[in-house]
Amino acid sequence: MAASSARAALTSIPLFHEKLRKSNRILAVCGAGLSAASGLPTFRGAGGLWRNHNAVDLATPEAFDADPGLVWLFYAYRRHMALNVKPNPAHYALAELARKKPGFRCLSQNVDNLHVRAHHPPSQLSLLHGSLFSLKCTTCPWTDPYNTADPLCPALAPAAESSPDPTKPLPLLDPSQPLADIKESELPHCPDCKKELVRPGVVWFGEMLDEQMLEDIDEWIEQEPVDMVLVIGTSSFVYPAAGYAERARTEGRTSVVTVNLEITGKDWESMAEGDFGFEGDASLLLPELLGPVIGEVKGEEEG
Ligand SMILES: [Zn+2]
Model confidence pLDDT, tens digit, residues 204-221? 999 999 999 999 999 999
Residue 76 shares a structural domain with residue 91 = no
Domain that includes residue 246, residue range: 1-39+86-129+209-303
Q: Which H or E run includes 294?
A: helix 282-294
Residue 135 shares a structural domain with residue 122 = no
User: In whole numbers, what is the pLDDT of the chain averaged over residues?
Assistant: 92
DSSP, residue by residue, 10-57: HT-HHHHHHHHHH--SEEEEE-HHHHHTTT-----STT-EETTEEHHH
- 72-119: per-residue pLDDT in tens? 999 999 999 999 999 999 999 999 999 999 999 999 999 999 999 999
Residue 247 shares a structural domain with residue 303 = yes
Active site residue 129: yes
- 180: domain CATH number? 3.30.1600.10
Number of domains in the chain: 2
Examine the pLDDT at 14 and tell me if it is beyond 60.
Answer: yes
30 is in an annotated binding site: no
- 187-203: per-residue pLDDT in tens? 999 999 999 999 999 99
Among the candidates 153, 169, 202, a domain finishes at: 202
Residue 184 shares a structural domain with residue 68 = yes
Distance 196 CA to ligand 1 centre (A): 5
190 is in an annotated binding site: yes
Pairing type for strands 49-50 and 53-54 reads: antiparallel
Contact 112, 42 (CB under 8 A): no
Examine the pLDDT at 2 and tell me if it is beyond 60.
Answer: no
Of the candidates 80, 91, 120, 129, the residue annotated as catalytic is 129
Between CA 85 and CA 83 the distance in angstroms is 6
- 217-253: per-residue pLDDT in tens? 999 999 999 999 999 999 888 888 889 999 999 999 9
Please report which confidence band the pLDDT of residue 54 belongs to, taking 50, 70 and 90 as the band edges.
Answer: confident
Between CA 53 and CA 75 the distance in angstroms is 13
Distance 134 CA to ligand 1 centre (A): 14
Distance 184 CA to ligand 1 centre (A): 15
Phi, psi for 195 (deg, rounded to 5): -125, -45
Check residue 189 and report its DSSP letter: B
